[in-house]
Amino acid sequence: MANMKDVAKHAGVSVATVSNVISGKKFVSPELKSVVLDSINALQYRPSKIA
């Protein structure tokens, strides 16, 4: 199962950027958001229910 580090590496961004895209609390450019979301889908990332 993929984690946020895997998504960040796949997208070529930081873990913080992945977190910001998922949480929606900070601005991320639409282009970068698209890249991260594509990586999330490609890796079938799902947030941990425990976290």
Residue with tokens 């890249």: 35
How far is 51 from 49, CA to CA, in rounded Å? 6
**Hey, what's the torsion of the CAs at 38, 40, 42, 47, to 10 degrees?**
-160
Domain count, the chain: 1
Evaluate whether residue 48 is within a structural domain.
Answer: no
pTM of the predicted model over 0.85: yes
Residue 48 pLDDT grade (very low, low, confident, very high; cuts 50, 70, 90): confident
Evaluate whether residue 29 is within a structural domain.
Answer: yes
pLDDT tens per residue, range 6-35: 999 999 999 999 999 999 999 999 999 999
Q: Looking at the predicted structure, is the pLDDT value of residue 1 above 90? A: no
Residue with tokens 């698209």: 34
SS (H, E, C) the chain: CCCHHHHHHHHCCCHHHHHHHHHCCCCCCHHHHHHHHHHHHHHCCCCCCCC
The boundaries of the domain holding residue 19 are 4-43
